[in-house]
Structure 1
Amino acid sequence: MNDKPKRIKRPISGWVVLDKPFNMTSTQAVGKVRWLFSAAKAGHAGTLDPLATGILPIALGEATKAVPQVQDGTKIYRFAIKWGSATTTDDAEGEVVASSDVRPDRAALEAVLPQFVGTIMQRPPIFSALKIDGERAYDLARAGEVVDLQPRPIDIDAIELIEHGSETSTLEVTCGKGTYVRSLARDIGEVLGTRGHVSLLHRAAVGPFHDQDALTIDQLEALSLEQRDALLKPVAAGFSDLPEIRLDPQQAAAVRHGNAVLLTGAGSPVSLDECWVSFKGEVLATGWVEFGQFKCRRVFN
């Protein structure tokens, strides 16, 4: 008989900016952090491949309502391209399916990078979580079925060569939602007349969260529950890239019930596509402003 007391789950809210370790899935990382904080509810803002490391924003409690805003934010990746081979997964996990003896020099690589800046069309890797007729692409690929994913537009703000070697080059890319770095490495190789795949991938930023904000699982495990709580970032941290509107008590009461409110006072916005409202520093809701009225999209407790 197990007499061990049942762990009580707490209604705690906030952000844990995790430095996800190598060879751990995003789901496993969320489960571990949820357990460490005894949190009743948890989720993550943007999946990282098991072989990738870096920023995985984990939302606890009410912060899970802010996941879409963070997930849509700008991302920064540092990655290494291993020259000379293409793989089934476009990373080091897959089987080699094509090879080349061509090794690009620094000048050639720097010359093609501008082609990959701006809004470009990108074909996702066949081993991805995208759905085809309700099935995940990676499930179909593993089953041996032919996976045909059509190119789709993505936004790349910048791409820079950090280090170049004869066999491997390291780059940094700043990009929008939906960008597959594995596809980027594959396509850069093909444009250079060779083959390439991602041999190392680190996410350095997601929306408002960066490497300098990150905590490792080892660091969290070494702390008491109270010390972990003290390191939580507030729910509002997920909205630092969005305009904030501060409400008065009457407006706040209306928004708590999901009602629209007329914004008054000098400088009040007339129109905003996306924003959030607060009262005494606490997040009340996300939404938009239309004809001087704030309208709720998601209300926070």
Structure 2
Amino acid sequence: MDGVINIFKQRGETSFKCVSRVRKALNVKKAGHTGTLDPEAEGVLPVCVGRATKLVDYIMGKEKTYVAGFELGLVSDTLDAFGEVRSTNAVIPPEEEVRKAFADHIGNTLQTPPMYSALKKDGVRLYELARSGIEIEREAREIEITSIELLAFDGRIGSVRVDCGKGTYIRSLIDDVGRELSCGAVMTSLMRERTGPFTLKNAVTVEGLAVEPEKHLIPMEEVLSEYGSMTIPEGFRKLLINGVKIKDTRVTGIAKPGTYRVYSEEGSFLGLGERVEDFLYLKLNLV
């Protein structure tokens, strides 16, 4: 069984446990998720199965959409409402200032990952260090936020929808906004609505896999359908599979530079190929 299952991860479950349940439901050994959701978060969690586990990094790099709840006037060690929360007793700014503070984060900015995260330092998860009372310096990383919409705000409690790239922590975004507003802010809820082409609309719970699991398996070729396709002469198949960069007009002459789904003459899907200048090679071997 090879493909991707668009799972709806429910609140209160770790991403690891969710994948473990998918593996058991499908009776497969090889499966992996495409981006951790915190236990208290819910929403889209694409799970790659079988050979499709090679697509994990590809899917993780796609843009994501989140809807997050927040509350001003509070701070937390975990940056959300599920850690040690305390009030700042600060004056809460008006909605116009809140809206502007969020909007200022649109574009490419630097963000420091939270201590309570799954990132590793010398092989140890940061959240494990944090639970031991250890805090280490984290290097700020560049993130991209393409849009932020303030969905609701009642003077203290609100929600936002965020479209962003890989590596963006919504908890950190809300904490940063709270600091900039000099009142503090914590995330109170998080829903991931989209990861690339995977949305809530076509997501399924693990329980939903019990009936006709194959019905929910998205083929690898469909996941990569945004790319055009090309068929290579049979004599070049083994070379591509073995990682050889081919410079031959019989291959490079059949496509313009770019990324393609590559097929053999017999119709076998080999993977994603990259045509660069006069060379063709498989950038993602799925055979």
TM-score, structure 2 normalization: 0.90
How do 1:231-246 and structure 2 match up within 5 A? Answer: 231-241=216-226, 243-246=227-230
Query: 5 Å matches for 1:212-231?
Result: 212-221=201-210, 223=211, 227-231=212-216
Distance in 2 of aligned mates of 1:69 and 1:219: 26
CA separation in 2, counterparts of 1:251 and 1:90?
A: 56
Q: Secondary structure at the match of 1:66?
A: helix
CA distance in 1, matches of 2:155, 2:197: 35
What letter is aligned with 1:92?
A
Aligned-residue offset at 1:77: 0.6
1:146 maps onto 2:148 in alignment = no
Output the CA distance in 2 between the equivalents of 1:109 and 1:288: 44
Contact kept in structure 2, 1:208 and 1:237, CA below 8 Å: no
Structure 1 position 269 matched with structure 2 position 256: yes
For the residues of structure 1 that align with 2:12 and 2:241, how far apart are their CA atoms?
42
Question: Is 1:176 the equivalent of 2:165?
Answer: yes
Partners of 2:197 and 2:281 in 1: CA distance? 24
TM-score (ref. length: structure 1) = 0.86
Matching residue of 1:204? 193
Moved more, 68-77 or 123-132: 123-132
Q: How many residues align?
A: 282
Distance 1:96 1:103 in 2: 17
**SS of corresponding position for 1:126:** coil
- For structure 1, the 5+ residue unaligned runs are 1-11
- Deviation of the 1:219 alpha carbon: 2.0
Q: 1:35 aligns with which of 17, 24, 28?
A: 24
Query: In structure 2, what is the Cα distance between the partners aligned to 1:103 and 1:251?
Result: 69
Contact 1:208 1:240 survives alignment (8 Å): no
Q: How far apart, in 2, do the equivalents of 1:15 and 1:281 lie?
A: 21
* Contact preservation (8 Å) 1:83, 1:189: yes
1:290 to 271, 276, 282: 276
Q: Once the 2 structures are TM-superposed, how far is the Cα of residue 98 of structure 1 from its aligned partner?
A: 5.2
Alignment partner of 1:46 out of 3, 28, 35: 35
In structure 2, the CA distance between the partners of 1:131 and 1:212, relative to structure 1 (3 Å rule), is: same
Contact 2:6 2:203 in 1 (8 A): yes
* Shift, 1:91, TM fit: 1.0
2:60 maps to a residue whose letter is Q
Deviations 1:39-69 (A, max 9, x none): 1311111111111000100000011011111
Q: Which string of whole-angstrom CA distances, capped at 9 and with x for unpartnered residues, describes residues 194-227 of structure 1?
A: 1111100001111221111211123223x1xxx1
3-state DSSP class of the match of 2:218? coil
